[in-house]
Amino acid sequence: MHESEIQLVQASFAKVAPIADQAAGIFYDRLFEIAPHVKPYFKGDMKVQGAKLMTTLGVVVKGLRDLDKIVPVAQQLAIGHVAYGVTPEDYAPVGEALIYALKTGLGDDFTPDTANAWIRAYETLSSAMIEAAYSKAAE
């Protein structure tokens, strides 16, 4: 990722952090709307799940300048999600729900450049996660 993209992602996430609970709720509402088949993957309290999501996003966003450290952690997370039934196809609606939640939460602050930076960050991480999880599952 380019430095300008990293700055956009980090600055926009800093604006989302104060409304983390609301953003997580928007994310999961949208995810379950566009991909209802994933709802059974989530067994616990959705407020707790939302807090985990936002914490994980915060760690990833903070570490975008050091992908060599962040990618292996994300890959291990993805490998663990295979046991819940997550498929490679599930990553697309997750990305869509993430962008939707950010756009909804940030309003006019979610510029096209910011959207593109988030899409690039998500594609970078999700492709590494899919490769790690499903090449391992195939073995």
The domains of the chain are located at 3-134
Place 9 in a pLDDT band, splitting at 50, 70 and 90: very high
Q: What is the pTM of this model?
A: 0.91
Nearest partner of 1 among 93, 131, 113, 133, judged by Cα: 113
Model confidence band, residue 138 (pLDDT cutoffs 50, 70, 90): very low
At residue 109, the pLDDT reads 93
Residues with Cβ within 8 Å of 138's Cβ and at least 6 positions away in sequence, in order, are none
Distance between the two ends of the chain, CA-based, in angstroms? 30
CA distances to 51, 83, 87, 94, 98 from 79, in Å = 21, 8, 11, 16, 20
Residue 139: pLDDT over 70: no
Task: For the domain made up of 3-134, give the CATH fold.
Answer: Globin-like (1.10.490)
Separation of alpha carbons 52 and 80, rounded Å: 15
